[in-house]
Structure 1
Amino acid sequence: MAKVQNRRRQGKLASVVTTPTRPVQGEICAICGVRTASTKDHVPPKAIFPKPRPHLITVPACFECNNSASDFDDLFKVYLSLHAAENNDIARKLFSEKTVRTLQRNQRLLDKIKSESSRVAIVNKSGDLESRMGVLWDSYAHDRVIERTIRGLYYHHSGHPIPSNCILQVQWLHGVPDEIIPMLPILKEHTIGENQVVYKYVIYENDPRHSLWIFEFYGAHWASGHTSPVQF
């Protein structure tokens, strides 16, 4: 993400909502936007951070939204750490301290990962081609975690849930798409921990139904999402 931050802004774009709000227990749920909150949820999920954890963002959440998320968070943690363990010490700590224990408890998940893994050719940091073991992500769990994270962060930065007349679409990325590069100068950037999670976002002030989000996890995985009005 950093390598494209200095690209020149192209075209006239809307301004950004940047005022954060502190979640207060008892407000509307940031995730569903319907039920009353009775607890708080971490966005991104705290499962992907080994201890000692950095300062994490929390938002008000209802019991149903918070309680239904733990399995997806666990799966996201496993697959993320498998992909990121070679990147830095914190990612290796996440794998050794949390993922290994999860796989020891969940033989079915371990067998699934083994059956869906295969050797792939990649270009390493030196520019050389080498063979590594590739692991197929659980795409459903991945998208649910990214969706919930966007919903929570939208609330955190705007002070209200994503409008009910919006759709939220999530994308898997291999890097920053070319079509997004011209928009990077207007995206506000936040870093959690020691670059464990970096995200950029814009919520359009003239129509907050439109927003764009880009995530980088441990320098090894990228995802994005955007909200837009429902088309009737």
Structure 2
Amino acid sequence: MSVTADHVPPKAFFPRPRPSNLKTVPACFACNNAAGRDEEYFLAALMFSDAGVTEPGKKLWNQKLQRMYAKNLGLRRHIGSALQAVQLTTPAGIHLGRRMALSIQEPRLEAVATKIVRGLHFLETGSAAPADWDVMCLFVRERRHVEAVAQYNHMLNPGAHSWPQIFQYRRGAVPGQPLKSMWLLWFWRTHIFWITTQPGSSDASNDG
């Protein structure tokens, strides 16, 4: 099996000049290569939201996104077909009119977040997560999700590897049982993913 170095999080999420302290973990070349399309979609989709108007987002548009859309006709067509006019209303019921919004494929975003957590687990513990690690991921977009996640925030500690304008995370794990964990990932200070993990069936008997 061919092994390569995988950046955690993907280095494409950082505008140039990139930090000198980016982290990598060993990864299967075939698996890493296959995940590239979802990582490209993750970046392209979220840059059409609040992330795209942050300072790093503006740099990514100038340095990468415009060129990426020009080269990748399939991605451009996909994003174009996902844009649709919607009626926006505030929680108080105030109508804001019609806006263009992007219909996001959340499973693809969550697949990227899950892959990143696998890499962070290696960085935090020094060992690879098993293939059958039971991982549940939620893209936090609704108020009820924010409220549900907030009740666990006191159980999480800041991650050891963060870049404040691009990516931060918090982690909590059961003492002595690192496969039982909770993660809060924060991208470009605008988008949050909540992830919980449990040992897979083959690990349950060895994890407490």
8 Å CA contact retained: 2:8, 2:119: yes
Instruction: Determine the structure 2 residue equivalent to 1:182.
Output: 151
Determine the C-alpha separation between the residues in 1 that align with 2:58 and 2:10: 18
What SS does the corresponding residue of 1:180 show, helix, strand or coil?
Answer: helix
Which protein has the bigger helix share? 2
Matches within 5 A, 1:83-162: 83-120=49-86, 121=88, 129=96, 131-162=98-129
Superposed CA deviations along residues 62-86 of structure 1, whole A, max 9, x for unmatched, are 2222222222221111112121355
- Specify which of 49, 63, 75 is matched with residue 14 of structure 2: 49
Change (3 A) 1:154 1:128: farther
Instruction: Determine the structure 2 residue equivalent to 1:226.
Output: 196
8 Å CA contact retained: 2:89, 2:97: yes
Change (3 A) 1:193 1:107: same
The answer to which structure, 1 or 2, has the higher relative contact order (CA under 8 A, 6+ apart) is 1
Determine the C-alpha separation between the residues in 2 that align with 1:192 and 1:91: 17
8 Å CA contact retained: 1:39, 1:62: yes
Change (3 A) 1:43 1:173: same
What SS does the corresponding residue of 1:82 show, helix, strand or coil?
Answer: coil
Instruction: Determine the structure 2 residue equivalent to 1:207.
Output: 177
How many residues of Structure 1 are paired with residues of Structure 2 in the alignment?
195
Change (3 A) 1:166 1:115: closer
Change (3 A) 1:148 1:165: closer
* Alpha-carbon RMSD: 2.7
Change (3 A) 1:167 1:87: same
8 Å CA contact retained: 1:87, 1:220: no
Instruction: For residue 222 of structure 1, report the CA deviation from its aligned partner.
Output: 1.4
> What's the TM-score, normalizing by structure 2?
0.81
- Specify which of 172, 190, 201 is matched with residue 139 of structure 2: 172
Which protein has the bigger strand share? 2
Return structure 1 stretches of 4+ with deviation > 6 angstroms. Answer: none
The answer for unaligned runs of 5 or more in structure 2 is none
